Amino acid sequence: MEKTKPFQAASMVQGQPVIVYGASVFGELAYYALAELGITPDYFCDRARTGTYFGVEIIHPEKLDQLSGANIIIASCDYFDEIRVQLMGQGCHNLFDMRSLLSMELPKDRMTERAKAMYAYAQVYDDVAEHQGMLNFHRLQFVVTERCSLRCRDCMHLMQYYKKPQDIDLDASCRQFDHLLSLVDNVSELRVLGGEPFMNKDVYQVLDHYAASSKIETITVYTNGTIVPNERNLKSLQNKKIIVNISDYRHNQERIRNVIAKFEECHVKYFLRQYDSWQDCGDISERGYTKEQKEQLFMNCFERGCYTFYKGQLHRCPRSVHAMNLGAMPDVKDDYVDFSDETLSDDVLTKQLHKLRAKTWIEACNYCSGPDIWSQSVTPAIQAKQPLAYVNQYKN
């Protein structure tokens, strides 16, 4: 199947419009990069947005049937292949990726915080474009603990509901994740997280093991910056393949300064991201959505490409993982691939992986208000005094 090529002004088809497919964070980066080249896109294209973006009209993908000769830049990382296949099905063949645009020096002082974060991880987009058409995961989360040093009321990963959180059995999880790796072509970014990952003093086992994997391009450890890692974990964090993403919720800045000072001393790569808002997913009660409502929620969800590996299971959504584990929703086996089931053959597991990737909704959507990046924002990291109550009706 035809692949995209890195965008170059000289490669454009003259007389045809320039369209940036993706009116979100990568669309923002594409806009700034094109501006550096003296180019203003004629349109943005997006399935979930209307109106304008940076003053440029946003069109729906259906309109591309009439613009099949346009120069189209795919400004999405999570859904790169999905968009590429869709565009080719509509007869669009002048398809470009952003690899060359992301290598440019862009004006960080004008970027949103999300755009700065994605610009810092430009190599992940590069890797996705390089492996297009393959069984590649853009971002894959590896949960190492349910424990957290904070109890954020609106945590979409549902840590606020755990009364007795536990560390994950890393030996078993690594063995099962190795099985997953044996069946895929590539993982662009492995995200190691919890909870708070440094609550698990042995997280170095995961870092060391997967930093040595040729199938994993980069590893990001996501922390709230409240814990200075122990010396053994700090040693592992010095690997050039690893970067630590520190979430700054404004109220934990003193502890963050201590963490950063240690990282500077030990030459650990890190990225500090400040959060002004979160998306409100609501509680984990059943909503009673129709299939069409769940599909719409899933389509607009910025986490629908966020595969999460937890206790041997690969889920499409971090909320799904923990809602099932807590018993707040039923155990829907069709919504994950279970690598802890040693009776399943590689052929069966591979078919299940493709089926999981092709899903247009999951049952967890019925227990969520939808983390749409354009709405439902709440103040980040509001602390609950005790674990939140929920109805445990599906787990003994």
Task: Cite the residue boundaries of each domain of the chain with CATH code 3.40.50.20.
Answer: 5-127
Give percent of the chain with pLDDT exceeding 70.
98
**Nearest C-alpha neighbor of 198 from the set 278, 144, 137:** 144
Per DSSP, the residues of 209-249 read: HHHT-TTEEEEEEEE-S-SPPPHHHHHHHTSTTEEEEEEE-
- Cα–Cα distance measured from residue 362 to residue 350, given in angstroms and rounded to the nearest whole number: 19
pLDDT digits (tens, 9 = 90+) for 178-208: 999 999 999 999 999 999 999 999 999 999 9
Number of neighbours of residue 112 by Cβ within 10 angstroms:
11
pLDDT digits (tens, 9 = 90+) for 34-79: 999 999 999 999 988 899 999 999 999 999 999 999 999 999 998 8
Write out the CATH class of domain 135-378: alpha beta
**Conformation bin of residue 51: beta by default, left when phi > 0, alpha when psi is -120 to 50:** left
Write out the CATH class of domain 5-127: alpha beta
Single-letter amino acid, residue 195: G
Spans of the chain, pLDDT less than 70: 1, 373-376, 396
pLDDT digits (tens, 9 = 90+) for 211-240: 999 999 999 999 999 999 999 999 999 999
Residues 6+ apart with CB under 8 A from 22: 30, 44, 45, 46, 74, 75, 76, 83
Are 241 and 219 in contact by the 8 Å Cβ rule? The answer is yes
**Nearest C-alpha neighbor of 128 from the set 116, 138, 120, 119:** 138
Q: What pLDDT is stored for residue 374 in this prediction?
A: 67
- Cα–Cα distance measured from residue 287 to residue 104, given in angstroms and rounded to the nearest whole number: 45
Are 3 and 132 in contact by the 8 Å Cβ rule? The answer is yes
- Cα–Cα distance measured from residue 378 to residue 280, given in angstroms and rounded to the nearest whole number: 6
pTM flag (> 0.85)? yes
Task: Cite the residue boundaries of each domain of the chain with CATH code 3.20.20.70.
Answer: 135-378
- Which DSSP category does 105 fall into? -
